[in-house]
Amino acid sequence: MERFTEKYTINTATGCWEWAGAKDKHGYGRFYNDGRNAMAHRVSFELKTGITLNKEQHIMHSCDNPCCVNPAHLSIGDHKANMRDMASKGRAYHPSGEANGRAKINETQARIIRRIQGMSLQAIGDLFGLSYKAVHYIRIGKRWAYLEQGKTKNNKSIAQSTPFLRRQEAG
């Protein structure tokens, strides 16, 4: 497939075949092939091995370079294997608490929500601008889970970081 080989350059230092064509927002190459827009590393793997991949099959990069299409750097796996590989290489970053840009409340508010008694989830949600389901997830520890260990995100004790709650316990 001559059109494919024209779209990458070889990095002699790493051995990666770096995709020079269109890329997605994560840096993975995109290649228009057989009437569909496909991921270039998947096309490269299929061309080299003759295996037609299904949607459940993932192609993993041993080089951790998203734009690499070198078949020697690619292997087949499933979603779980791909996530394990990513985590084992320290590439899994999922900010939690206030570090998550989508957080609507702060750590102190999450602690308060966990301690409020005698109010419906909807009423608590209305106070903090959250849905009742978000309040439920905070209360059961599905959201702001690290608060369960009695620590803040930066590893301070609860008493050091939450004077409002300290006053509540004393009074």
Task: Point out which residues pair with 39 in neighbouring strands.
Answer: 30
Q: What is the pTM of this model?
A: 0.56
Report strand pairing: 17-19 vs 36-39.
unpaired
pLDDT digits (tens, 9 = 90+) for 7-32: 999 999 999 999 999 999 889 999 99
pLDDT digits (tens, 9 = 90+) for 61-108: 999 899 999 999 999 999 999 989 888 887 777 777 888 778 899 999
Domains and CATH numbers, the chain: 2-88 (3.90.75.20), 97-170 (no CATH)
Alpha-carbon torsion (162, 149, 93, 64), positive or negative: positive
pLDDT digits (tens, 9 = 90+) for 150-168: 555 555 544 444 444 444 4
pLDDT for 153 equals: 53
Closest by CA to 29, choosing from 45, 7, 62, is 7
| Integer CA distances (angstroms), 157 to 131, 134, 145, 153, in order | 28, 25, 15, 10
